[in-house]
């Protein structure tokens, strides 16, 4: 008998789509395309979560949003827009962080009692990866960087998890981090490059440098966030002008530029008091005060060797800023009205400007300033967000989801979207999913890692924040010393072990060969940490992860640039692999079905990390107020192979 169908899908599959539940994490570039694809494919029950609010720079590619939506919750507006062309869909929107809304307990509950079938992620990837492993739910993850993109599937026990392979350092950062809360030198360098374009080059709404009043961290109330975002358009009779127009009106006066950028804007940031509750507040600079240092010969120069390798003091960089502004103003005037300059790291005036502006901002935010040589090496090209790339990747996500829901997880693939066709004239390159890494410190049967540090100089607080939370992505770690007494070193319960924070590890008998059992009940994750005492670590290095635990990303091959996929924007995600995902025999996603498919571990097309973050940057760190009991996975989890989690 012929198979019955609904549209282009088998009836059984169509019924599965309308019955299953999908959680989409992220409603940005990929998320907007994906939500549209999901409802038009036949998915009916969708939950979407995103902490971010809509910025005007999103409107060129996140098509579910319009100008009237600026400042509103991305998740809520995406829901409302989708319901306009698919009113029968059942969509729940959360303006929140995945860290707050979906802990492991709620995820297991959703999986067992609400049939959560699909998880699609765009942020907090480490956290969600661990939740999915604990709940044994397949996960689809994706990312884009300019014209490059990638989609992969993660399934416990069958494929690599998201953390099996190390991720390169994030290349791009959320706008609110660049504009409001820089914490690393690269944030200040990116800000300085944005500033160059705003003053002398082609202005771009994505490269705003003024304080971001719509920073989602400022308010959990969507109405307050929206009001803050639109306040700049409601200033009565005040005429809003662009940064370049204002600079021109001053004749590119270096003193006025300096005081606006490094004094007035910083003082305005200080009024956003919520930003500084857990951060060190910035310190504004005043031109006249700095000139006193210049005239009193208190300029500080550190470093030896070539001039480019020296680090000037604040006074020196203020003078360099003034000279470079004057030079660039003259260059712009020589080009005539309407002309623009293009930033080039090999153009001395442009490099001087970025070096000075970046270092002054570093000083304001209490960072060690960098030499011109260091800044030049760190200042790379900024990868644009391409709407069509997001659309292609969102389509591939749905195709992988259909495979999983069809029960053909083994047919799932990691798919790479390249900028140029490969030797076989393919833009889409499928790779077989890799098996789990036996040495992964997350998905191994008994996760274990070795850390080299100086037990006499490492504080308990540094172990908690820099090693367990920042390096190993934990949220609320509890640490017990395996000393035969079960000494509790760190507790996630507030106030229980805070007195230990200012003590050194050696104060608790921790020495070479000590073992620490670390539990994060919010992630249902246990890690055994072996301590190696070392007194000759490199300068400024507090600890090293040694052995098989991934602590450095592999060097990407230089020969095949078109396959080197990197996550370069907020809409993107890093790659992960999962294998138990279903695919139909005639699925169009199998691009090279007539040839042997290479393993993703042997391909030179691996996605770099990207942002959310993270840090999010994405919200991959957080505080837990109470210790949670470990949850056992429900037995139903082992009986239903149709559950999926997809990462956006």
Q: Is 645 annotated as a binding residue?
A: no
Taking 60 as the threshold, does the pLDDT of residue 170 lie above it?
no
Are 131 and 104 a contacting pair, CB within 8 Å? yes
How high is the pLDDT of residue 19? 85
Phi, psi (rounded to 5 degrees) for 582? -85, 145
What average pLDDT does this structure show over 225-234? 46
Q: Is 368 annotated as a binding residue?
A: no
> Which comes out higher in pLDDT, residue 199 or 380?
199
Closest CA to 216 of 204, 234, 228, 232: 228
468-472 contact pairs (CB < 8 A, 24+)? 468/518, 469/621, 470/621, 471/543, 471/545, 471/551, 472/441, 472/527
Q: Is 60 annotated as a binding residue?
A: yes
Taking 70 as the threshold, does the pLDDT of residue 387 lie above it?
yes
As a whole-number percent, the residues of the chain with pLDDT over 70 amount to 72
Taking 60 as the threshold, does the pLDDT of residue 611 lie above it?
no
Helix (H) or strand (E) holding 69: none
Question: Please, which residues have CB within 8 angstroms of residue 144's CB and are 6 or more apart in sequence?
Answer: 29, 30, 150, 385, 386, 389, 390, 393, 417, 567, 568, 569, 571, 572
**Rounded CA gap, 134 and 124, in Å?**
16
Q: Is 251 annotated as a binding residue?
A: no
Q: E strands, 83-229, where? A: 90-94, 116-121, 139-145, 148-154
Is 412 noted as a catalytic residue in this protein? no
Q: Is 509 annotated as a binding residue?
A: no
| Mean pLDDT over the full length of the chain | 76
Helix (H) or strand (E) holding 426: none
The pLDDT confidence band at residue 319, using thresholds 50, 70 and 90, is very high
Helix 29-41 × helix 387-405 angle, to 10°: 40
Taking 70 as the threshold, does the pLDDT of residue 125 lie above it?
yes
Q: Is 50 annotated as a binding residue?
A: yes
The pLDDT confidence band at residue 497, using thresholds 50, 70 and 90, is very high
Burial 415-431 (b: 16+ CB within 10 A, else e): bbbbbeebeeeeebbbb
Closest CA to 648 of 34, 5, 12, 7: 34
CATH 1.10.10.520 domain span(s) along the chain:
175-222+242-380
The pLDDT confidence band at residue 555, using thresholds 50, 70 and 90, is very low
Span of 315-319, 503-507, 509-513, 641-645 with lowest mean pLDDT: 641-645
Output the CA torsion 18→20→21→22 (10° steps).
Answer: -80
What average pLDDT does this structure show over 527-550? 82
**Triad 245, 247, 252: Cα angle to 5°:** 140
How much helix, strand and coil, in percent to the nearest 5, is found in the chain?
35, 15, 50
How high is the pLDDT of residue 209? 87
Q: Is 97 annotated as a binding residue?
A: yes
Q: Which SS3 state, helix, strand or coil, does residue 155 take? A: coil
Taking 70 as the threshold, does the pLDDT of residue 564 lie above it?
no
> Which comes out higher in pLDDT, residue 495 or 166?
495
For 470-481, what is each residue's pLDDT tens digit?
Answer: 888 888 899 999
What average pLDDT does this structure show over 235-239? 40
**Triad 449, 450, 454: Cα angle to 5°:** 140
How high is the pLDDT of residue 218? 64
How high is the pLDDT of residue 381? 56
Give the largest Cα separation in the chain, rounded. Answer: 94
What is the distance between the terminal CA atoms of the chain, rounded to a whole angstrom?
39
For 577-609, what is each residue's pLDDT tens digit?
Answer: 333 333 333 322 222 223 333 334 433 333 333
Active-site residue among 20, 32, 132, 176?
176
| Residue 467: count of CB within 10 angstroms of its CB | 22
Q: Is 412 annotated as a binding residue?
A: no
Are 581 and 411 a contacting pair, CB within 8 Å? yes
Q: Is 443 annotated as a binding residue?
A: yes
pTM: 0.59
Taking 50 as the threshold, does the pLDDT of residue 540 lie above it?
yes
Residues in the chain: 648
CATH 3.40.50.720 domain span(s) along the chain:
5-167+385-431
For 411-420, what is each residue's pLDDT tens digit?
Answer: 999 999 999 9
> Which comes out higher in pLDDT, residue 206 or 196?
196
Token pair for residue 462? 């540094």
**Under CATH, domain 448-546 is a member of which superfamily?**
Ubiquitin-like 2 activating enzyme e1b. Chain:  B, domain 3 (3.10.290.20)
**Rounded CA gap, 460 and 235, in Å?**
49
Are 644 and 405 a contacting pair, CB within 8 Å? yes
CATH 3.10.290.20 domain span(s) along the chain:
448-546
**Under CATH, domain 175-222+242-380 is a member of which superfamily?**
Ubiquitin activating enzymes (Uba3). Chain: B, domain 2 (1.10.10.520)
Q: What is the CATH number of domain 5-167+385-431?
A: 3.40.50.720
The pLDDT confidence band at residue 102, using thresholds 50, 70 and 90, is low
How high is the pLDDT of residue 256? 93
Q: Is 15 annotated as a binding residue?
A: no
Span of 57-61, 221-225, 432-436 with lowest mean pLDDT: 221-225
Taking 90 as the threshold, does the pLDDT of residue 509 lie above it?
yes
**Radius of gyration, alpha carbons of the chain:** 26
Question: Please, which residues have CB within 8 angstroms of residue 617's CB and are 6 or more apart in sequence?
Answer: 170, 173, 174, 177, 611
Q: Is 31 annotated as a binding residue?
A: yes
**Rounded CA gap, 150 and 139, in Å?**
14
Q: Which SS3 state, helix, strand or coil, does residue 354 take? A: helix
Are 38 and 24 a contacting pair, CB within 8 Å? yes
For 287-310, what is each residue's pLDDT tens digit?
Answer: 998 888 766 555 556 655 577 788
Helix (H) or strand (E) holding 6: strand 5-6
Token pair for residue 45? 């029950």
How high is the pLDDT of residue 246? 87
Q: Which SS3 state, helix, strand or coil, does residue 85 take? A: helix
Are 396 and 416 a contacting pair, CB within 8 Å? no
Taking 50 as the threshold, does the pLDDT of residue 110 lie above it?
no
How high is the pLDDT of residue 412? 93
Taking 90 as the threshold, does the pLDDT of residue 192 lie above it?
yes
Taking 90 as the threshold, does the pLDDT of residue 499 lie above it?
yes
Q: E strands, 439-555, where? A: 448-453, 477-481, 487-490, 515-520, 525-533, 543-546
**Rounded CA gap, 145 and 160, in Å?**
22
> Which comes out higher in pLDDT, residue 124 or 465?
465
Q: Is 547 annotated as a binding residue?
A: no
Cα dihedral 94, 96, 100, 104 sign = positive
Q: Tally DSSP H helices, then E strands, for the chain.
A: 18, 18
């Amino acid at each position: 008998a012929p198979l019955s169908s609904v549209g282009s899908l088998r009836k059984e599959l169509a019924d599965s789509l309308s019955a299953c539940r999908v959680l989409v994490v992220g409603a940005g570039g990929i998320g907007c395309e994906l939500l549209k694809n999901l409802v038009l494919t036949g998915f009916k029950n969708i939950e979407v979560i995103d902490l971010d609010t809509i910025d005007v720079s999103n409107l060129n590619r996140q098509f579910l949003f319009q100008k009237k939506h600026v400042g509103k919750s991305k998740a809520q507006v995406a829901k409302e827009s989708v319901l306009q062309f698919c009113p029968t869909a059942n969509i729940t929107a959360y303006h929140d962080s995945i860290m707050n809304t979906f802990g492991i307990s709620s995820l297991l509950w959703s999986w067992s009692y609400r049939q959560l079938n699909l998880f699609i992620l765009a942020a907090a990837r480490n956290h969600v990866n661990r939740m999915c492993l604990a709940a044994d739910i397949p996960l689809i993850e994706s990312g884009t960087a300019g014209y490059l993109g990638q989609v992969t599937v993660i399934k416990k026990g069958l494929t690599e998890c998201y953390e099996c392979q190390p991720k390169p350092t994030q290349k791009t950062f959320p706008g609110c981090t660049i504009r409001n809360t820089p914490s690393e030198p690269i944030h200040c360098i990116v800000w300085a490059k944005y500033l160059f374009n705003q003053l002398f080059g082609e202005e771009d709404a994505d490269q705003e440098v003024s304080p971001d009043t719509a920073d989602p961290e400022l308010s959990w109330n969507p109405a307050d966030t929206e009001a803050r975002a639109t306040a700049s358009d409601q200033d009565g009779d005040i005429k809003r002008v662009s940064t370049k127009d204002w600079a021109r009106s001053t004749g590119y006066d270096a003193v006025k530029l300096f005081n606006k950028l490094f004094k007035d804007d910083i003082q305005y940031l200080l009024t956003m008091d919520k930003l500084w509750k857990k951060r060190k507040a910035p310190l504004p600079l005043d031109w006249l005060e700095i000139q006193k240092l210049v005239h009193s010969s208190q300029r500080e120069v550190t470093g030896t060797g070539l001039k480019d390798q020296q680090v000037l003091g604040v006074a020196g960089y203020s003078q360099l800023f003034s000279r470079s502004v004057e030079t660039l103003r003259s260059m712009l005037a020589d080009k005539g009205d309407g002309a623009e300059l293009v930033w080039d790291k090999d153009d001395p005036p442009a490099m001087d400007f970025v070096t000075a502006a970046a270092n002054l901002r570093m000083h304001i935010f209490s960072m060690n300033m960098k030499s011109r040589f260091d800044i030049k090496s760190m200042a790379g090209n900024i990868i644009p967000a391409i709407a069509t790339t997001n659309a292609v990747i969102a389509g591939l996500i749905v195709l992988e989801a259909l495979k999983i829901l069809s029960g053909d997880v083994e047919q799932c693939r990691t798919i790479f979207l390249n900028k140029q066709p490969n030797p076989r004239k393919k833009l889409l390159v499928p790779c077989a999913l890799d098996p789990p890494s036996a040495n992964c410190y997350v998905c191994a049967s008994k996760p274990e890692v070795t850390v080299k540090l100086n037990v006499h100089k490492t504080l308990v607080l540094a172990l908690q924040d820099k090693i367990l939370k920042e390096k190993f992505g934990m949220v609320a770690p509890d640490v017990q010393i395996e000393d035969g007494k079960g000494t509790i070193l760190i507790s996630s319960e507030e106030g229980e072990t805070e007195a230990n924070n200012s003590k050194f590890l050696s104060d608790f008998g921790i020495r070479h060969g000590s073992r620490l059992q670390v539990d994060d009940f919010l992630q249902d994750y246990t890690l055994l940490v072996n301590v190696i005492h070392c007194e000759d670590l490199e300068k400024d290095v507090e600890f090293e992860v040694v052995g098989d635990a991934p602590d450095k990303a592999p060097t990407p091959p230089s020969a095949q640039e078109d396959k080197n996929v990197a996550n370069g924007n907020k809409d993107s995600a890093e790659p992960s692999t999962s294998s138990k995902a279903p695919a139909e025999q005639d699925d169009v996603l199998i691009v090279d079905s007539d040839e042997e498919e290479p393993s993703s571990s042997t391909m030179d097309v691996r996605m770099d990390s990207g942002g959310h973050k993270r840090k999010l940057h994405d919200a991959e760190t957080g505080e837990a107020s109470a210790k949670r009991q470990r949850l056992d996975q429900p037995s139903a989890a082992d009986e239903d192979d149709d559950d999926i989690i997809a990462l956006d």
